[in-house]
Amino acid sequence: MQYIHSVHLDEDQCQACTICTKRCPTEAIRVYQGKARILEERCIDCGECMRTCPQEAKTSQTDPLEAVFAYPYAVALIAPSLYSQIPPAQFNIEGLVDGFSAVGFRAVADVSHGAEHVGEAYKQWISASETRPLISSACPAVVRLIQVKFDELTEHVMPIESPMEVTAELARRQLQDQGVKPEDIGIFFVSPCPAKVTAVKQPLGRSYSHVDGVLSFSDVYQELYPRLNEAGNPKGQRLFPMGRPGVRWGITAAQTYESEGIRMSLEGLDQVTAVLEDLSLGKLPDVDFIEANACPGGCIGGCLTVQSRFQAQVNLYRNLKHLPAKPQLDMDHFQRLYDQQFYMMHHALQPRPSQPLDPDISRAMQLMKRQEQILQTLPGLDCGACGSPNCQSLAEDIVRGWTTENDCIFILRESVQNLAKELWDLAQQVPPTIGRQKPSTEE
Amino acid sequence: MENILEFSFPVEGRSFNKAGDAAARVKQLLKQASIPSPFIRRAVVVAYEAELNMIIHSQGGTLRLAISPEQLTIQAVDQGPGIENLQRAMQEGYSTAPREARELGFGGGMGLSNIQRNADHLDIQSQQNEGTVLTAAIYLEKAASVS
Ligand code: SF4
């Protein structure tokens, strides 16, 4: 299978420092020949390496803003977290729609509206399903983390579409009802993170996405910010209403708003990984629902945002005041869609476990034996100088045939020491022509 | 019988904060060995409960994993008080866990019955005031016919 990724390495920038290898949650990065390489099948596009790279050598591929102008009817699909990026002094809802129209969009569709739909769908699914705990499917990096590293938990993921996908489909329907030609509509998600880019290019639980392109927050922001409150021509329309509960999805602990049951909210990959590890041991069976966001703070902490997440949190709370306190969801409409299975993923998520050492158990066992032997010889310092994240993964990389023991600088030093000693010993064994004393012929 | 791969993990008594470390490593190793996931799942439950038993009740011991193409064996060998009444210990909800463990939410009395449910064969040898050897096996032969 081909994997499409948003996160890439800019080789010219990479200084082979190995910092990213240690932060990657799936141990997907190796450094060799002086450059960091990403193992395609393991990368979940979480963006952690972008955040930690001191050289800013990791980048996220998004669509250029010009892509928007290819569509006569471009729609800006805006994440709840976008509301955290605009300083409260400049913020008002109409002004935001105006700004987008001035940039070239005909309509704004709020994913916060889709979030209100999805939050309701989660509640109904929690009561319908017997699986516990259920894990939110809203963060695509977390979903892929589960598929790749905690494949045994795949069935715990909510089989419900993301707010982004739901909103895109609702927007398409609504515009077609208004008489806009389907081929004229271009829906562009304005994304806080690379994981969402990949979720569009290679969707989860479905074969195609209703989103036509993904723009990065930071790219859009440069164009949008100076044009806020400055209506474009034609004036743009706002497709959906939403209340504070929908927009709060930009911050952790907003999902399944006001519902019963035991809920848990996680943010940052360290928290998420620790809890998934617990779940796979069978712990936490009493929890009903787990909201898990890969980024610290939730989506407002995404690595394509422009404000610090702390500033973003303050902004979002202040901007929320312009919105109604209650969700703006039409419950009859929601229920009709729910009953038609509108919110369900099209097919079950597939686990994507990392490759065993060998598909044959006996042969895999042989390799594991070697791996253990190698591990014994490694210093156990997890220094990362070899380019693998830790000693254990170097041992694995060696038996997989990717590299050799001499990648370990400690082993290399030992080899050099041994070699030097051998050389010295050899040097002592001088041939008679040099070392033998001259026979005394003089006397 | 020669085609067996063994691993052992030391487990400290009362080290509640490390509960699950050994079981998590068991999971990793079984994935590398291309054991089908339903077996991994069962083995991990067995390993975790056995590990937890040692942490709660003993002064520490060793968790062992043996992999062969036919079966997975998980063994917990500890130095501890031993199990006084094995029959009762196997009952769901019966617990002799000390207060310290219960206050931390451990020792709900489900451990041994959980192990029994997930293992194809279970053997427990216990000597009072000496220790316990728990050996659980999961047969893999059925793997081929199932998958
Ligand atoms: S995007 Fe995330 S998963 Fe992919 S290489 Fe970077 S840190 Fe690893």
Question: pLDDT for A259-268, tens place per residue?
Answer: 788 999 999 9
| Cβ distance of B31 and A280 shorter than 8 Å | no
- pLDDT band at residue B110 using 50, 70 and 90 as cut-offs: confident
CB atoms A282 and B3 under 8 Å: no
A-chain residue closest to B106, CA distance: A283
- Cα A303 to ligand 1 centre (Å): 12
Amino acid letter, A127: S
User: What span, in angstroms and rounded, lies between the C-alpha atoms of A209 and A189?
Assistant: 11
Q: Which residues of chain A have pLDDT under 70?
A: 432, 434-443
Nearest to B110, CA basis, from B70, B27, B32, B53: B53
pLDDT at B26: 96
Ligand 1 centroid to residue A26 C-alpha, Å: 7
- Give the pLDDT confidence of B128-147 residue by residue, as tens digits: 888 899 999 999 975 444 43
> Helix A163-177 vs helix A111-128: angle between axes, to the nearest 10 degrees?
120
CATH node for A7-58: 3.30.70.20
Residue A366 is given by DSSP the state H
Separation in Å, CA of A142 to nearest CA in chain B: 19
| Phi/psi at A253 (5° precision) | 80, 35
Rounded-to-integer distance, Cα A430 and Cα A47, Å: 61
3-state secondary structure of A78: strand
A361-428 belongs to which CATH class?
mainly alpha
Q: Is it the case that residue B85 has pLDDT exceeding 90?
A: no
Complex prediction ipTM: 0.83
Burial classification of residue A189, based on how many CB atoms lie within 10 Å of its CB (0-12 exposed, 13-18 middle, 19 or more buried): buried
Q: Structure tokens of A89?
A: 């002094």
Q: Mean pLDDT in chain B?
A: 87
How far apart (Å, rounded) are the C-alpha atoms in residues B104 and A248?
34
Quick one: tokens of A69? Answer: 């102008």
Separation between Cα atoms, residue B110 and residue A132, nearest integer Å: 18
**Structure tokens that stand for A239 in this block:** 């497709």
Start and end residues for every CATH 3.30.70.20 domain found in chain A: 7-58
Distance (Å) from CA A192 to ligand 1 centroid = 16
- How many Cα neighbours within 13 Å face the side chain of A190? 33
CA gap A315, B53 in Å, rounded:
49
Torsion of CA A209, A215, A218, A220, to 10 degrees: -130
Residues belonging to chain B with any Cβ–Cβ distance to chain A shorter than 8 Å: 3, 5, 7, 20, 23-24, 27, 29, 31-35, 37, 40-41, 44-45, 48, 67-69, 114, 140
CATH 1.10.15.40 positions along chain A are 361-428
User: Which residues of A fall within a CB distance of 8 Å from B40?
Assistant: 152
pLDDT digits (tens, 9 = 90+) for A216-234: 999 999 999 999 988 777 8
Q: How many angstroms separate the CA atoms of A109 and A442, rounded? A: 108
CB contact under 8 Å between A364 and B34, yes or no, is: yes
**Average pLDDT, rounded, for chain A:** 92
